[in-house]
Structure 1
Amino acid sequence: MAESAPSLKQTLAGRSLYLVGMMGSGKTSTGRPLAERLGYGFVDADAVIEQAAGCSIPQIFDSDGETGFRAIETQVLSAISQRHSLVVATGGGVVTRPENWGLLHHGIVIWLDVERQQLLERLRADDTARPLLQQQDPVAALDALLAERRPLYAEADLTVVIQNETPEQVADGVLQLLPTLLSDPKTRRRD
């Protein structure tokens, strides 16, 4: 039987959960109900980046390029990682900078793995500006990002394969999987 959320919260001992995955994988939409069920705070790292920069992510890409954006992203992640008891929806490319992994591992890293075709459908249905897909062939751009990032996402502590589940169902699935992960001595709190 799965641990109840209050008991799981106690087992987590304040460790934050970092949701990683491709754009459109549902990190924000899953993160909110997951945080609510755990009694944790929720942080959308992209929203914090926009607040810190005083402009939108597409504007950051326009003025500073991806390199400038990634530098701000690392600074924001560093500040977030100083806090505890959070569910953090990260940006899709956070895994591409090795220094970010040290920050992510202050908590538990959970990969929301969505199959390519479903990602394409989700991204087509979403009007959010995605700077890395603003290319002549956005499908080829997505495929290139998937090829680059999938091995990096696979380094997460926990992988949740998503098919047609709602964000609430995905959050419940994470809650069911976490106790198994937490009972493994390799994942105990690193003090």
Structure 2
Amino acid sequence: MKNLVLIGFMGTGKSVVGRALAARLDRPFVDVDEAIEREQGRPIRKIFAEQGEPAFRAVERAMIQRVTQRDGQVIAAGGGAIMDEGNLAALSRRGWLVWLTAEPDVILQRIGDPATRPLLNTADPRARVAELLALRQATYAKADAVVETSRRTVEQVVHEIIRIGEKAW
């Protein structure tokens, strides 16, 4: 049974939807960012601050390689994880990818204080969100399905993923 892999920008609902989807399908749930924080014993923002983005991405790559050794899971990948071709290949090879999307204003509302997100700790977080979305769009579009989350409840998003995915799994 393939993994169900949720990809998309921060604040689109990957973690919240992933937990609910895993519970609904009775599958294990793995949040890659949470697994990294547990393993490293510190928040991702500290890894960024102390070691930089390249060091974080190396840790993320290793975690994804481990996580994708198992099948039948619901996986929430970090927002930038699939920008690494190796990560995208590993997640795609053993998974069905769902790109969760949301409008920039909704993303900013959901994430709260942008200063807690290393990539958004700028003078104009909204412009940075738009810039990163534009940079990542072509890669996110390689997903098997797309589900917009801006005006949907978690349960509605879960239902839509199951509806779309039933034929693909």
Bucket of the pairwise TM-score, normalised by the shorter protein: over 0.9
In 1: Cα distance, 2:150 partner to 2:129 partner: 18
Give the Å deviation of 1:85.
1.2
Cα 1:116–1:127 shift into 2, 3 Å: closer
Q: Which residue of 2 aligns with 1:108?
A: 96
Superposed CA deviations along residues 32-87 of structure 1, whole A, max 9, x for unmatched, are 11111111001111110111212110110011111111111110011000011110
Q: Which residue of 1 aligns with 2:120?
A: 133
- How many equivalent residue pairs? 168
Structure 1: gaps spanning 5 or more residues: 1-13, 183-191
- Identity, % of aligned pairs? 39
Q: Which of residues 52, 55, 59 is equivalent to 2:39?
A: 52
In 1: Cα distance, 2:150 partner to 2:45 partner: 29
Superposed CA deviations along residues 97-148 of structure 1, whole A, max 9, x for unmatched, are 1111111111111100112232233234x68821101112211211111111
Work out whether residues 158 and 181 of structure 1, in 8 Å CA contact, stay in contact via their aligned partners in 2.
Answer: no
Q: Which of residues 43, 48, 58 is equivalent to 2:30?
A: 43
Q: Which residue of 1 aligns with 2:157?
A: 170
In 2: Cα distance, 1:41 partner to 1:160 partner: 21
DSSP 3-state at the match of 2:82: helix
In 1: Cα distance, 2:107 partner to 2:24 partner: 26
Work out whether residues 20 and 112 of structure 1, in 8 Å CA contact, stay in contact via their aligned partners in 2.
Answer: yes
Alignment partner of 1:156 is 2:143: yes
DSSP 3-state at the match of 1:67: helix
In 1: Cα distance, 2:66 partner to 2:17 partner: 22
Cα 1:123–1:70 shift into 2, 3 Å: same
Cα 1:128–1:109 shift into 2, 3 Å: farther
Give the Å deviation of 1:170.
0.4
Letter in 2 for 1:113: T
Q: In terms of Rg, which structure is larger?
A: 1
Superposed CA deviations along residues 21-41 of structure 1, whole A, max 9, x for unmatched, are 110000011011111111100
Q: Any runs of at least 4 consecutive aligned residues in structure 1 with deviations exceeding 4 A, and if so which?
A: none
DSSP 3-state at the match of 2:166: helix
Judge which range, 82-91 or 173-182, deviates more. 173-182
Work out whether residues 114 and 121 of structure 2, in 8 Å CA contact, stay in contact via their aligned partners in 1.
Answer: no
In 1: Cα distance, 2:9 partner to 2:32 partner: 14
Cα 1:63–1:95 shift into 2, 3 Å: same
